[in-house]
């Protein structure tokens, strides 16, 4: 029986190969897109899932209910974690984590490595397997060191690294460490990446901060005991806060802070480590967190494309069914039962879906390298063979086959035998379900068009919005570890002095955007001023900083070599001036930034500039020449007419001064653009998804127009005989489809507005959603539908009316 079904199905599929080719094309493209998109989603949600203790791991953060609203921070004071562990048995393990880099020295090798300062419990909490060494003792000594496999191979080659002495040069101080363990390289889907682990006690400034509760400079992860409820535990920590954060609470009360619903000004929270990759509130440990909205968008686009492809399959099958009505009638006359016919049609559907799936997988394999390059993805097709993904794929395959094949088959077996043999088919008028499916198709397509336009507008706005500083002609050069930044700045200044393409050279503690070194540094200082607490970002700079960056002064002057007292001076922005309660009259004001004995004097007020991404509003910032902060970046302003030559000149000068240190210079506009790479990825995905969705929808629309025209062939012939023109017939056949597409657009408008309005809220600076975006999307959708239908309508309108009248 099955063999007979297969043979008959193959004959029918070949007979209707044009329709089936359209089916296979739409489905195979949808399958390829869904494979790539769903695997990307699965990869993003797989972050950190390999940790065995994941259910009990939490990042600690504080919520401070300030006068202008609550603020979350994952930065903690040095004594916090050990004190919490000592006072609360609910905490099983803890680790403080601070990131940095160090120049490693071994024999004649000097290599820059990423270094993490952690506590001994780190490897007990996280599942980073040791290749060599014992978890219990590997970090027992303050001078012990654990190194990754790749770093060990790069430094020691084929030698056994255990018990070798490795010198780390960080904080401008070389220090020897004993290698006691080698850890396996971290997988790509890990939120923590490091080359070297050393004890937290080696962190720069550790001894001076060991009893300080008002200096926060690292993150804390705890492992709670089994069955400890993190939320209840956090609520029980108010006595701990009042005991150790008493000064913070007092200052908040004095400054008019607004307590939360429970009357608390400061609270501790425990964020599940499983969600670290998506934690945009307090950031991640290494790298940049990804907004979960982007991942959900990928999933939604994949589902949209799959739904549209399934709708196409149904419509194409129904269109094909009208041409097979007499076949159904003959089969019924010869004794075929209802479920035999359904099975026959379902087998045909199964073969089409199987062919589409195989072709779709082949397409996915072909375009995978381009997809990974364009969207910075780490997926592989081997992920598809993992049990969960494989099960989901099989369920989707059988689900699509069943849903897409069942309705057309059921529709065809309901034809009345006598009627179809006479050439009369029930349901000549467009069915409600068919029209509903068409509306759903174009609603989804219109939705994607609107999202594409608004996303492009926002990215374009971010790229063109003035930042308040010059980011097109300034080169940023990271000094890197093992290099004295202040010394490197002076050497580069002397080396480049007088060069034709170089205008000014300066340096700073923080970069703009994200440079080639991939690091991002933030330093925030809080202090009392006239009876209330002020908070400011601190940027250590050198002479010519504002001139190099093109930052405008609103009042006062810049740092100058002619004033010896400028080493104890400060420049503030307008936002900081507002926080201090004044404007230009603040020049000469003395600020107790570090201590009251040596206050900083305000010598100038800068106009506000965006030193962070446009996701965030401009915050207070203070520029100082404080020597306690290192120079991490050298900024070089070049002439706009010699950008390439100047870049090569700077690179050559760097290599002359530091032949063993990598040059990682980049233009500031490149750095700032990197901050919006997620938005660019989303925009690219929306554009690609919209194009594919529209193309698949057009295939379905073409199928419906074919079905309608087949049913109305005789009517078209009569109208032509009676004098109807070709444009008139085209408009008559297209009018209904255009109306349905307009309805689809109207349904998509409110959903699209709601989605994009919420997405735009993640930006402090954003566009307004204009009415013309919806109008344009509707015009695009209607134009595409009209062109698709008109193509088939034009052919029907040109048909010889004599031939048309003979069709039935």
Looking at residue 670, its pLDDT comes to 87
Looking at residue 327, its pLDDT comes to 60
pTM: 0.80
**Domain map (residue ranges) of the chain:** 90-211, 440-466+676-808, 481-663
Looking at residue 429, its pLDDT comes to 47
Count CB atoms within 10 A of the CB of residue 431.
12
- Render pLDDT for 544-573 as a digit per residue (tens, 0 to 9): 999 999 999 998 899 998 888 888 899 999
N- to C-terminal Cα separation, the chain:
35
Looking at residue 161, its pLDDT comes to 92
Looking at residue 720, its pLDDT comes to 67
Count CB atoms within 10 A of the CB of residue 366.
11
**Contact of 475 with 646, CB cutoff 8 Å:** yes
**Contact of 572 with 602, CB cutoff 8 Å:** yes
Biggest alpha carbon–alpha carbon distance for the chain: 107
Residue 630, pLDDT > 50, answer yes
Looking at residue 231, its pLDDT comes to 92
The most confident of the ranges 126-130, 439-443, 652-656 is 126-130
Please report where in the chains the tokens 């500031």 appear, as a residue.
668
Helices then strands, counting H and E runs in the chain, come out as 25, 23
526 DSSP assignment: E
Distance CA 123, CA 621 (A): 38
DSSP 690-733: HHHHHHHHHHHHHHHHHHHHHHTHHHHHHHHHTT--HHHHHHHH
Burial of 189 (0-12, 13-18, 19+ CB in 10 A): middle
- Render pLDDT for 137-179 as a digit per residue (tens, 0 to 9): 999 999 999 999 999 999 998 899 999 999 988 776 789 999 9
Report the pLDDT averaged over residues 627-651.
88
Please report where in the chains the tokens 């069914």 appear, as a residue.
321
Q: How many residues does the chain have?
A: 808
SS3 489: helix
Region for residue 180 given its phi and psi (left: phi exceeds 0; alpha: psi -120 to 50; beta: otherwise): alpha
- Render pLDDT for 741-796 as a digit per residue (tens, 0 to 9): 899 899 999 999 998 898 888 788 889 999 999 999 989 888 888 887 776 666 66
What HEC string does 178-217 produce?
A: EEEEEECCCCCCCCCCCCEEEEHHHCCCHHHHCCCCCCEE
Looking at residue 410, its pLDDT comes to 66
Please report where in the chains the tokens 């255009």 appear, as a residue.
738
Q: What are the strands of the beta sheet with 502-508, ordered from one edge?
A: 502-508, 633-638, 474-478, 666-667
- Render pLDDT for 51-95 as a digit per residue (tens, 0 to 9): 999 999 999 999 988 877 788 888 899 999 999 999 999 999 999
DSSP 260-319: -TTS-SEEEEEEEGGGGGG-TTT--SSS----HHHHHHHHHHHHHHHHHHHHHHHHHHHH
Report which of 99, 190, 106, 103 is spatially closest to residue 153, judged by C-alpha positions: 106
Structure tokens, 162: 């255990």
Structure tokens, 351: 């073969």
pLDDT class of 531 with cuts at 50, 70, 90: confident
Distance CA 786, CA 782 (A): 6
Q: Report phi then psi at 66, rounded to 5.
A: -80, 175
Please report where in the chains the tokens 């997620």 appear, as a residue.
678
Which residues, listed in sequence order, are joined to residue 196 by a DSSP beta bridge?
115, 147
Distance CA 737, CA 743 (A): 10
Report which of 443, 433, 298, 441 is spatially closest to residue 375, judged by C-alpha positions: 298
548 DSSP assignment: H
Which of the two residues, 70 and 584, has the higher pLDDT score?
A: 70
């Amino acid at each position: 029986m099955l063999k007979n079904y297969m043979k008959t199905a193959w004959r029918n599929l070949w007979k209707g190969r044009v329709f089936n080719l359209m089916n296979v094309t739409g489905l195979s493209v949808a399958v390829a897109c869904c494979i790539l998109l769903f695997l990307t989603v699965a990869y993003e949600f797989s972050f950190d899932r390999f940790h065995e203790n994941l259910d009990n791991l939490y990042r600690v953060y504080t919520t401070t209910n300030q006068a202008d609203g609550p603020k979350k921070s994952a930065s903690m004071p040095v004594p916090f974690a050990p004190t919490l562990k000592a006072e609360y048995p609910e905490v099983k393990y803890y680790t403080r984590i601070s990131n940095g880099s160090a120049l490693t020295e071994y024999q004649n090798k000097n290599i820059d490595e990423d270094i993490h300062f952690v506590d001994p419990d780190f490897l007990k909490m996280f599942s980073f397997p040791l290749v060599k060494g014992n978890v219990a003792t590997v970090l027992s000594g303050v001078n012990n060191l654990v190194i990754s496999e790749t770093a060990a191979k790069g430094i020691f080659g084929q030698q056994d690294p255990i018990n070798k002495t490795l010198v780390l040069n960080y904080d401008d101080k070389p220090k020897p460490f004993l290698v006691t363990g080698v850890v396996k390289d971290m997988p790509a889907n890990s939120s923590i990446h490091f080359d070297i682990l050393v004890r937290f006690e080696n962190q720069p400034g550790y001894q001076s901060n060991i009893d300080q509760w008002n200096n926060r400079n690292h993150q804390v992860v705890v492992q709670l005991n089994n069955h400890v409820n993190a939320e209840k535990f956090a609520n029980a920590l108010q006595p701990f806060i009042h005991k150790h954060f008493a000064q913070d609470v007092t200052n908040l009360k004095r400054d008019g802070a607004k307590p939360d619903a429970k009357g608390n000004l400061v609270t501790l929270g425990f964020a599940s480590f499983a969600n670290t990759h998506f934690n945009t509130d307090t950031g991640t440990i290494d790298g940049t967190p990804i907004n979960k909205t982007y991942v959900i968008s990928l999933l939604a686009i994949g589902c949209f494309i799959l739904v549209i492809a399934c709708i196409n399959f149904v419509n194409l099958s129904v269109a094909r069914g009208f041409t097979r009505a007499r076949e159904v009638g003959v089969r019924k006359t010869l004794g075929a039962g209802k479920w035999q016919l359904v099975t026959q049609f379902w087998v045909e559907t199964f073969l089409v879906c199987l062919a589409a799936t195989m072709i779709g997988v082949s397409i996915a394999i072909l375009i995978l390298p381009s997809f990974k390059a364009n969207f910075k993805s780490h997926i592989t097709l081997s992920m598809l063979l993992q049990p969960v993904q494989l099960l989901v794929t099989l369920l989707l395959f059988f689900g699509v086959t069943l849903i897409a094949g069942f309705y057309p088959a059921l529709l065809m077996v309901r034809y009345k035998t006598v009627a179809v043999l006479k050439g009369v088919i029930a349901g000549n008028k467009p069915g409600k379900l068919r029209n509903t499916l068409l509306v759903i198709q174009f609603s989804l397509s219109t939705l994607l068009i609107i999202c594409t336009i608004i996303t492009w507008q926002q990215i374009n706005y971010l790229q063109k919005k003035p930042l308040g500083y010059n980011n097109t002609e300034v080169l940023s050069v990271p000094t890197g570890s093992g290099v004295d930044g202040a010394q490197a700045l002076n050497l580069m200044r002397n080396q480049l002095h007088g060069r034709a393409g170089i205008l000014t050279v300066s340096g700073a503690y923080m970069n703009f955007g994200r440079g080639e070194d991939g690091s991002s540094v933030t330093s925030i200082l809080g202090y009392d001023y006239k009876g209330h607490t002020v908070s400011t970002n601190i940027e250590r700079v050198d002479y010519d900083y504002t001139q190099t960056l093109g930052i405008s002064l609103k009042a006062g002057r810049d740092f100058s070599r002619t004033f010896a007292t400028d080493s104890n001076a400060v420049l503030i922005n307008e936002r900081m001036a507002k926080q201090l309660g004044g404007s230009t009259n603040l020049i000469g004001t003395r600020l107790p930034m570090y201590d009251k004995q040596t206050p900083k004097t305000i010598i100038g007020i800068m106009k506000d500039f965006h030193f962070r991404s446009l996701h965030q509003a401009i915050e207070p910032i203070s520029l100082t020449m404080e020597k306690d902060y290192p120079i991490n970046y050298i900024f070089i302003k070049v002439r706009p007419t010699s950008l390439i030559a100047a870049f090569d000149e700077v690179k050559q000068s760097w290599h002359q001064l530091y032949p063993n240190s990598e040059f990682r210079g980049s233009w500031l506009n490149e750095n700032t653009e990197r901050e919006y790479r997620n938005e660019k990825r989303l925009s690219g995905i929306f554009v690609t998804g919209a194009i594919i969705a529209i193309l698949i929808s057009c295939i379905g629309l073409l199928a419906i127009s074919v079905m309608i025209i087949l049913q109305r062939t005789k009517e078209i012939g009569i109208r032509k005989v009676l004098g109807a023109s070709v444009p008139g017939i085209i408009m008559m056949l297209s009018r209904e489809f255009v109306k349905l597409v307009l309805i689809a657009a109207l349904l998509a408008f409110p959903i699209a507005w709601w989605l994009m309005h919420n997405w735009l809220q993640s930006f402090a600076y954003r566009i307004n959603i204009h009415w013309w975006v919806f109008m344009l999307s509707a015009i695009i959708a209607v134009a595409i539908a009209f062109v698709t239908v008109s193509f088939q309508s034009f052919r029907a309108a040109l048909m010889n009316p004599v031939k048309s009248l003979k069709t039935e």
